[in-house]
Structure 1
């Protein structure tokens, strides 16, 4: 199964698709599953397909060895003639986010690394923060810092920040044990958070141009090594 480790130096692509209905979501998941099960692209490392929870849609987290490998896949005839038109036709919107790992942290109970797997029961929170390129580094400095306090929050499992390579976004991929625990954390009054956390959040809010989020559960995964 795919893992996320602090020393990862490959490209992570988040394919985020929205659908109008749950049946549409199921169609996208089925199509993604078929693609993942037959993936044999040079440089492809893993894919983990997620199904939307709060809102219909899907998230596919794909790990590649390099940007050049991904671009070769996107330029291929099978992708341009079949894959891209297919998903254009069955989704209401799509985001193809090319990112690099910036910071990752997890609860000690998870072991040595973060795992993305349908065999787990993670309540996955995906947050896309849009930012002007000149402010991306400052936004990451405000958010992508070690946070010992969050390890004490009930239900917390992990969170990872990714830097959009085009400079216009920051992604937070987080795992919690349930919707209830995440909602309690999300609604926690600011005065109950540590001062450094409050300051980072305040600084971040002044930098982002927009925020988009949804929650997911992993439903299918495959790695190039067969796991």
Structure 2
């Protein structure tokens, strides 16, 4: 199964699609599954398809051994002439976020590494923060810090911060028990959070130039070998 781990050396590409409605979402998921099930590209490690929960959309986490392998895939004629036009047609917006894992924290009851799999029942929250490249490091330092207090928050499973290779984004891939428990955490009064966490959140809001968020469930995965 795929894992998100710091220092694994993988390039993690999040293919993030926004879609007009449930029927369009299912079509994108089906098309992604076809690509995943036939994937045989040099340097390809794994792909995990997620379907949107709160808002129609899809998320495909594709792991590559190197940027060079990824670029070779993007340069392929089939990708440029068939794959890209297909998803441009059925999605209202598409982002291919090239990232690497910078920080990860897992609840002690969930092991020591983040696993992403349809065999799990994770309620997955995916957040993308836009940032000026010269401030990416500062934003990452503000948010990507150990937060052991979360181990006592009901429903918390894990969260992983990934830095965009272009310097323009930071992504947060977080796993929770359920929507209800995540919503309770998300709307938690600020005074109930530790002081250092409150300060980091204030700094992050000042540095981030945009914010996107949606929730997902992993529905299909396949790995090389």
Deviations 1:14-58 (A, max 9, x none): 000011010000000000000000000000000000000000010
TM-fit CA distance, 1:195: 0.6
TM-fit CA distance, 1:172: 0.3
| Cross-structure match for 2:113 | 113
SS in 1 for 2:112: coil
Q: Structure 1 stretch 22-31 or stretch 143-152: which is displaced more?
A: 143-152
SS in 2 for 1:215: strand
TM-fit CA distance, 1:78: 1.0
SS in 2 for 1:12: strand
| Cross-structure match for 1:45 | 45
TM-fit CA distance, 1:8: 1.6
Structure 1 outlier segments of 4+, above 6 Å: none
TM-score norm. by structure 2 comes to 0.99
Quote the Cα distance in structure 1 between the aligned partners of 2:150 and 2:9. Answer: 25
Quote the Cα distance in structure 2 between the aligned partners of 1:6 and 1:16. Answer: 21
Deviations 1:163-211 (A, max 9, x none): 0011110000000000001000000011000011111111100100110
For structure 1, the residue ranges without an aligned partner over 5 or more in a row are: none
SS in 1 for 2:109: helix
Q: CA RMSD in A?
A: 0.7
| Cross-structure match for 1:159 | 159
| Number of equivalent positions | 225
TM-fit CA distance, 1:5: 2.1
SS in 2 for 1:41: coil
TM-score norm. by structure 1 comes to 0.98
Q: Where do 1:32-181 residues align within 5 Å?
A: 32-181=32-181
SS in 1 for 2:209: strand
Quote the Cα distance in structure 1 between the aligned partners of 2:180 and 2:119. Answer: 20
